[in-house]
Structure 1
Amino acid sequence: MEILRLVLVFIHFLGLASLLGGLLVQMRGPERRIVPAVVHGALTQLVSGVLLVGVLEGPLDESLNHAKIGTKLAVTLVITVLAWINRKKPTISTGLYGALFLLAILNVAVAVFWR
């Protein structure tokens, strides 16, 4: 089961890279939009995160901070829904772009700093 946990963590990091990478490449551009990397990264983070919690609580029987997991899930759901709803629009507002970027950074901060 430990190898499954490591594979899920790896996939989770790939989702983060896709999400943040899709946002960062547009930082200086005149117009911003939801590129497929953002949607796929958000969905990858959502699915791999839920599976990771299932593996940790199930077979590995680890004690988890449910408030932290719930916060990360809520932030990821908001990112995913915003990206999904706006994925077909030719451009998005600077406010939406900023919100997505800050929410993604917030999720990383919660993962790192909340013990």
Structure 2
Amino acid sequence: MTALRYALLVLHFVGLAAILGPFMEQLKEQTKRITMVMVWGARAQILTGLALTGVAYARSDETGYEPDHVKIAVKLLVALAIAGLAEATRKRENPVVPFWLIGGLTLVNIVVAVAWR
């Protein structure tokens, strides 16, 4: 179970990098774009996040640690907002506001994951 958890965690980080990498790269550009890498990264974040939650609940019997339901719900809502924005605006010419929202919400999700105890 531990190996599965670590594999999912690595894939979760790859999804994060797929969103944050193109966002950071385009900060200096005049025109902003939602790339397919960002869209697939958002999809990966949702899928691996759900799988990590399932593993956490499966392990809760043996470790005695109960996952925080509210934290999981907040992270899921933010991830769904990121994926929805990425899916809806990926074909637009210069989606400046959704571009900044996707980057900002990604950073919010990182802060929730790290700082919320």
Q: Which residue of 1 aligns with 2:75?
A: 72
**What is the CA deviation profile of residues 74-99 of structure 1, one whole-angstrom value per residue up to 9, with x for unaligned ones?**
00000000000111122212x22221
Give the distance between the partners of 2:21 and 2:43, measured in 1 at CA.
Answer: 14
Structure 1 vs Structure 2 CA RMSD? 0.9
Q: TM-score, normalised by structure 2?
A: 0.93
Q: What percent identity do the matched residue pairs reach? A: 36
Structure 1 unaligned spans of 5+: none
1:108 pairs with 2:114: no
CA contact (8 A) 1:20 1:104 kept: yes
Q: TM-score, normalised by structure 1?
A: 0.94
Q: Which residue of 2 aligns with 1:42?
A: 42
Structure 2 unaligned spans of 5+: none
**What is the CA deviation profile of residues 56-110 of structure 1, one whole-angstrom value per residue up to 9, with x for unaligned ones?**
102x1241011111000000000000000111122212x2222111100000000
Runs of 4+ that moved beyond 2 A? none
Give the distance between the partners of 1:46 and 1:74, measured in 2 at CA.
Answer: 10
Identify the range of structure 1 (62-71 vs 77-86) with the bigger mean alpha-carbon deviation: 62-71
The structure carrying a bigger helix percent of its residues is: 2
